[in-house]
Chain A
Amino acid sequence: MQQKQRLTRSTAYFIPYTLWIVLFVIAPVLLLIYQSFFNIDGQFTFANYQTYFASSTYLMMTVNSVWYAFLITLATLLISYPTAYLLNETKHPQLWLLLIIMPTWINLLLKAYAFIGIFSQAGIANQFLSFIGIGPKQLLFTNFSFIFVAAYIQIPFMVLPIYNSISELKPSYVNASRDLGATNWQTFSRVIFPLTLPGVKAGIQAVFIPSLSLFMLTRLIGGNKVITLGTAIEEHFLTTMNWGMGSTIGVVLIIAMVIIMWLTSGRQPRKGLTK
């Protein structure tokens, strides 16, 4: 009797979350899938998917999206791993972590506009290039600036999980590795990196998936030279009003994300990796 009561009460705690998930995750996804089977005139059709997979434009966009998301993730990882590593060596890692996280409190749009200023012809970046005698150069609306700004925005989301896994490493692992004759590099590649891989995977998930559907930055910083699936979805919903086609691209993106999630978390590392 009492147990049953407790059970109903603990179920009750899940109601707000379940409601939220149903209303704002499951329902929209179902709507999206439903919508993707209708053409612009409201008739049921598979044509959207046919168009998507037959058109070289959409396939190119897919390849582009994946490629740029990959580049952004790679750049973020290359910067974040050493950062997280050094962070762990500092005396006050929590303070430095706070400084790294702080930019995420600022609206994405504001940061994008700030970079327009920095990268513009008369911006501070070009002033510096002129000063050292190799500028001014066209910085804004280039692939470089797009990747640069995207990586800048994503770095905190990569540093955090990697830092967590590094800080959980027992120092005796490093000593044991050296004790057994490993050089610093061997210790890193055979002990530290494999043991922090869960953090790296979590970071990749946190960066790669959002990077697939970036559209604001492609426009503001990339100058729409890079057309990703995110841009295409925005165009279909807001400009051409072809919601069916927009939904189809959305569904394809969701499937791509599920695949990435499965790839990066499917082969779970062995139990008890950290403390």
Chain B
Amino acid sequence: MAVNAQPIIRLTNVCKSYGDHQILKNINLELEAGKFYTLLGPSGCGKTTILRTIAGFTDATSGQVEFDGQVINTLPANQRQLNTVFQDYALFPHLTVAENVAFGLKLQKVAKTEINQRVQEALALVQLADFGDREISEISGGQQQRVAIARALVMRPKVLLLDEPLSALDAKLRKDMQYELRDLQQRLGITFLFVTHDQEEALAMSDEIFVMNSGEILQGGTPVDIYDEPINHFVANFIGESNIIPGQMKQDYEVEFVGKRFECADAGMRPNEDVEVVLRPEDLDIVAADQGKLVVTVDSQLFRGNYFEIVAFDADQNEWLVHSTNPADEGTPIGLTFDPQDIHVMRLHESEAAFDARLEQYEDD
């Protein structure tokens, strides 16, 4: 890591409340320049409020917002060197596509020839080079989305904030835009802070994800880290699909659930501590009932195209979700096997710092 890795954006103990209602509870966040970050969480979790605080549309009740080493708490939005792509795009309907993109440059009194050139470049960047003269009402939702991105990027911001910009697009267009946004970010090297409630979107695009719930950041990390090592029930449930089973940690690398002891890759808990065990549906393999580490009875199944989604119950009536390439017979018992490293054990109330420290300590074993 570079020595001068000063974060481009740093939030320190940021709180926001309306009356008694706390929207943000002590948010600490550091964004390195040139990366793609995502704030992920259900609606109402405060992710958009963080974005608005950074953009300057709303003030933090307490705490510090830094941009490139400068505290910007009181800096008005129009003086911040970052731009926003709004959820509803907020394109000005009385201006053409090109006039929308030129809006910010005109305010900066940039020379006309340069404005034209930069607007053309920005429109070409989002593949709308020939759309400059169109009215906003004449172009499709996907094209409006691109204009909104061009309008922000033409300002050459150091950070681009994107507030659920893909939520209004249909599934196909959404996928295309995910690739395009990721590609744009890597080509331009601008820091992107992307807000979404769609975990697939977050996993596909981000360098780093912050998972949020009810005004708190629960866990930050790379998509792989968060998927493989969720910190708690909420994160495990929110990111991907999970089987979350109550269990007990017998000793380091040994956990008990559904009345059986299993070897696992986790350690650092107290002996006999109550824990939750996460097993991803795709990590479970179906075998004959007498060969399984666990025996479950198939309840129902759905064909999902590239796999069968099987719902089964064990002797303790825990529900098990299994993704399998082969169908199973409803009402019949099947065996499930998994590898020790597929088991992820979560302590019930662990802070992110303690979680990270524990992982650090036992990872190298």
Complex interface: stretch among A43-51, A62-70, A105-113, A267-275: A267-275
Most buried by A among B93, B104, B151, B152: B93
Number of interface residues of A (CB under 8 A): 23
Given A271-B135, A272-B137, A178-B90 contact (CB < 8 Å): no
CA distance A224 to B350 in the complex (A): 86
Check B77 against A179 for contact (C-beta < 8 Å). yes
Tell whether A182 is near chain B: CB-to-CB under 8 Å: yes
Shortest distance between the CB of A205 and any CB in chain B (Å)? 20
Q: Smallest CB–CB gap between B96 and chain A, Å?
A: 9
Q: Which residues of A contact B55 (CB under 8 A)?
A: 175, 179
Q: Say whether A180 contacts B151, CB under 8 Å.
A: yes
Which residues of chain A from 26 to 49 have any CB-CB distance to chain B below 8 Å in the complex?
none
Residue in contact with A191 in the complex, picked from B87, B92, B108, B136, CB distance below 8 Å: B92
| In the assembled complex, B5 has its CB within 8 A of some CB on chain A | no
In the bound assembly, the distance between CA atoms of A177 and B152 in angstroms comes to: 11
Question: Within A185-217, which residues are at the interface with B (CB < 8 Å)?
Answer: 186, 190-191, 194-195
- Nearest B residue (CB) for A180: B104
- Residue in chain A with minimal CB distance to B58: A175
For the complex, is A183 an interface residue (Cβ under 8 Å from B)?
yes
Given contacts A172-B86, A173-B92, A271-B135, contact A178 B155 (CB under 8 A): no
Please give, as numbers and ranges, the residues of chain A lying within 8 Å of B93 by CB-CB distance.
Answer: 195, 270-274
- Residues in chain A near residue B107, CB distance under 8 A: 180-182, 186
Complex formed: what's the CA distance from A182 to B108 in Å? 9
Residue contact A181 to B104, C-beta cutoff 8 Å = yes
Q: Give chain B nearest CB distance to A72 CB in angstroms.
A: 28
Q: A180-B83, A180-B107, A273-B94 are in contact. Are A172 and B78 (CB under 8 A)?
A: no
Q: Name A197's closest neighbour in chain B (CB-CB).
A: B94
**Neighbouring A residues of B137 by C-beta, 8 Å:** 270-272
Q: How far is the CA of A54 from the CA of B266 in the complex (A)?
A: 103
A170 contacts chain B at the CB level, 8 A cutoff: yes
Interface size for B (C-beta < 8 A) is: 27
Contacts of A182 in B (CB 8 A): 78, 103-104, 107
Residues of A within 8 A of B151 (CB): 180
Q: Which residues of A contact B90 (CB under 8 A)?
A: 170, 172-173, 175-176
Q: Which B79-120 residues sit within 8 Å CB-CB of chain A?
A: 79, 83-84, 86-88, 90-94, 103-104, 107-108
A191 / chain B contacts, CB cutoff of 8 Å: 92
Which one of A177, A179, A186, A271 has the highest number of Cβ atoms from chain B below 10 Å of its Cβ? A179
- Chain A residues with CB under 8 A of B57: 175, 178-179
Q: Is B76 located at the chain interface by the 8 A CB criterion?
A: yes
Chain B 28-75 interface residues, beta-carbon cutoff 8 Å to A: 55-57
Contact between B83 and A179, CB atoms less than 8 A apart: yes
Chain A residues with Cβ below 8 Å from B78 are: 178-183
CA distance A186 to B84 in the complex (A): 18
**Taking CB as reference atom, which chain A residue is nearest B86?**
A172
User: Provided the pairs A179-B55, A179-B77, A182-B107 are in contact, do residues A269 and B83 lie with their beta carbons within 8 angstroms?
Assistant: no
B21 to chain A, nearest CB (A): 17
Query: Measured between alpha carbons, how far is A178 from B103 in the docked complex, in Å?
Result: 11
Q: Which residues of A contact B76 (CB under 8 A)?
A: 178
The answer to whether B77 touches A178 (Cβ under 8 A) is yes
CB distance from A271 to the nearest CB of B (A): 5
If A181-B155, A270-B137, A271-B137 touch, whether A176 touches B84 (CB-CB below 8 Å) is yes
Chain B residues, CB < 8 A from A170 = 88, 90
Are A180 and B136 touching (Cβ within 8 A)? no
- Shortest Cβ distance from B152 into chain A, in angstroms? 8
The distance in angstroms between the C-alpha atoms of A273 and B137, with both chains bound, is 9
B296-311 residues with Cβ-Cβ distance < 8 A to A are none
How far is the CB of B311 from the nearest CB of chain A, in Å? 42
Give every chain B residue within 8 A of A177 (Cβ-Cβ). 92, 103
Q: How far is the CB of B105 from chain A (nearest CB, A)?
A: 9
CA A269 to CA B94, docked complex, whole Å: 8
- Shortest distance between the CB of A181 and any CB in chain B (Å): 5
B interface residue numbers (CB < 8 A to A): 55-57, 76-79, 83-84, 86-88, 90-94, 103-104, 107-108, 135-137, 151-152, 155
- Report the 7 A-B pairs with minimum CB-CB distance, sorted nearest first: A180-B104, A272-B137, A172-B90, A176-B90, A178-B77, A271-B137, A178-B78
Complex A-B: 10 CB contacts under 8 Å:
A173-B92, A175-B84, A178-B56, A179-B78, A180-B78, A182-B104, A195-B92, A271-B135, A271-B137, A273-B93
